[in-house]
Amino acid sequence: MLTLQEIKQQPIPQHIAVIMDGNGRWAKEHGQQRLAGHQQGAHALREVMEGSIMLGVQYLTVYAFSIENWNRSQDEVLGLMQLFVHTCKEELPTLQKYGVCFHAIGNLSMLDNYCREAIQEVEEKTKHNTTLHFQVAISYGSRWEIVDAAKQIAKDVKDGKIALESIDEQLFSNYLQTKNIPDPDLLIRTSGEYRISNYLLWQIAYSELYFTDCYWPDFTKEKLFLAVENYQNRERRFGKTSEQIK
């Protein structure tokens, strides 16, 4: 394993996206309720945020709650929402200290008011921070996001705001939740599952994928550094040949 200094001498991913999976299994293995796994997961998230700042990563996007997660038990959904709001409030001073700009993506209209208000407050108070752009995907689903973008584009064409001929990949990207955010260079999924689970489907077209067996609550800065080290050994070709990119 390389040192942080050695890792920093190689290209650092500008944007890391994370599927924080395995909280429930972590809790079960520790003889605890699922919510205890999510609470421990919130600590791991702080670790990864700090690790990202140490590396000089500029964008970090984490999958906190999918649209499909609304189908979980009422207790778990409520517990997760309360944990989310509590963490937002508790971590605000830390976000300010580190210069983290917080932003939520997803179908926020499905959230309760208290949750939306907490998000708005943290977004407003951190909006001028520039060290790390930290996106939390909550009530998020990539297919929903793409359909929603298509609807907005159709409406803007109908209203004469944009011409049909002007629709291209760049324009489409600007209608997604992640507008103004570069595509992820690296996607990390924990817990030994090899799926994308409706996460940033458009945006990860050329991302490097990294899977680890580690449950999310056990994920640490050092494990993040290992993932980045692994990323640095990949050859990103974007459809070209090895010779062409040399």
Minimum CB separation of residue 77 from ligand FPP in Å reads 10
- Assess 67 for contact with ligand FPP (CB under 6 A): no
- Assess 95 for contact with ligand FPP (CB under 6 A): no
User: How far lies 159's CA from each of 95, 137, 153, 175, 180, in Å?
Assistant: 40, 30, 10, 16, 24
Tokens found for residue 20: 């924080």
118, 132, 136, 214: which one contacts ligand FPP (CB under 6 A)?
136
| 92/37 Cα distance (integer angstroms) | 22
Q: Give Rg (Cα) of the chain.
A: 19
Q: Which of 23, 69, 159, 168 is catalytic?
A: 69
**Binders of ligand FPP in range 137-156 (CB under 6 A):** none
12, 16, 45, 55: which one contacts ligand FPP (CB under 6 A)?
45
- Assess 64 for contact with ligand FPP (CB under 6 A): yes
- Assess 79 for contact with ligand FPP (CB under 6 A): no
Minimum CB separation of residue 44 from ligand FPP in Å reads 7
Cβ proximity to ligand FPP: between 175 and 191 the closer is 191
Tokens found for residue 65: 């709650």
Q: Token match 């976000």: residue?
A: 95
Closest C-alpha to 52, from 87, 95, 104, 103: 95
Minimum CB separation of residue 48 from ligand FPP in Å reads 10
Cβ proximity to ligand FPP: between 191 and 203 the closer is 191
Catalytic-residue membership of 69 = yes
Residues 6+ away with beta carbon under 8 Å from 117:
none
Tokens found for residue 136: 């939390």
Buried b (16+ CB within 10 A) or exposed e, 11-26: ebbebbbbbbbbbbbb
Minimum CB separation of residue 191 from ligand FPP in Å reads 6
- Assess 52 for contact with ligand FPP (CB under 6 A): no
Contacts with ligand FPP, residue ranges (CB under 6 A): 20-25, 38, 41-42, 45, 64-65, 69, 83-84, 87, 136, 191, 216
